[in-house]
Copies of this chain bind each other. A is one copy, B any other.
């Protein structure tokens, strides 16, 4: 059994983003990322600030911890990061959780392929727009999307682009045009990671959401899309572990 670097296990709560927004779920957050997005809202997974909190856990230990926290109150687990796609042997966790009757969601930016992607129930690939200051390896992303498609996984896969500005919207259009076969989500970015007044943050996020909706409504290139807020930030501000 391999050990995985885990930073947070919590829930049950709701999935706040993307293709299964609102779904009752547990969260497992793994440490480590090959990116360093300018606006990363989980920079503690890779910037060293939480490195003493990383626990190396087997799939069995992760399941035990999930069960301790969630009891019989869940049947869905979201694996998030960092970039959990860096973990080559993560199928051990995916297989175990599915044996225990759970569905699995996982989010990755799409920089690395793993064969176990084909087992994920709700796979979100989230290429990072210009505001992140990262650049996408398109050959790699093409390859990932092709592999999923050939394995018949398109209905279990979606693309998500987090949008902070107009340049990001152009990027979103380009991604949607490149992979029209995949469900496509646009999400409001959270610019105020230091804001501690939850109500003020919620109001600002709703304003930005309205701006994003307006932009999408005015574009005929963004018809077959869904536009979502980041529900967790609306509800719980910048708190961790909810």
Contact = CB atoms under 8 A, between A and B. Distances in A.
Interface of A: 12-14, 20-24, 71-76, 185, 199, 202-203, 206, 209-210, 213, 216-220, 222-229, 231, 234-235
A23 B202 contact: no
A21 B217 contact: no
A22 B226 contact: yes
A43 to B, nearest CB: 26
B228 A22 contact: yes
Given A24-B222, A75-B223, A199 B209 contact: no
A72 B220 contact: yes
Contacts of A23: 225-226
Contact of A202 (B74, B203, B228): B203
A202 B206 contact: yes
Copies in the complex: 2
Most buried by B among A202, A223, A231, A234: A223
Given A199-B203, A227-B24, A13 B217 contact: yes
Given A210-B235, A235-B206, A220 B71 contact: yes
Given A21-B22, A72-B223, 16 more contacts: A12-B217, A20-B226, A22-B185, A22-B226, A22-B228, A24-B224, A24-B226, A72-B220, A73-B217, A73-B219, A73-B220, A75-B223, A76-B223, A202-B203, A206-B235, A210-B235
A122 to B, nearest CB: 11
Given A22-B226, A75-B223, A234 B206 contact: yes
21 contacts: A13-B213, A13-B217, A14-B213, A14-B226, A20-B226, A21-B21, A21-B22, A21-B228, A22-B185, A22-B227, A22-B228, A72-B223, A73-B218, A73-B223, A76-B223, A76-B224, A199-B203, A206-B235, A213-B235, A229-B234, A234-B234
B231 A14 contact: no
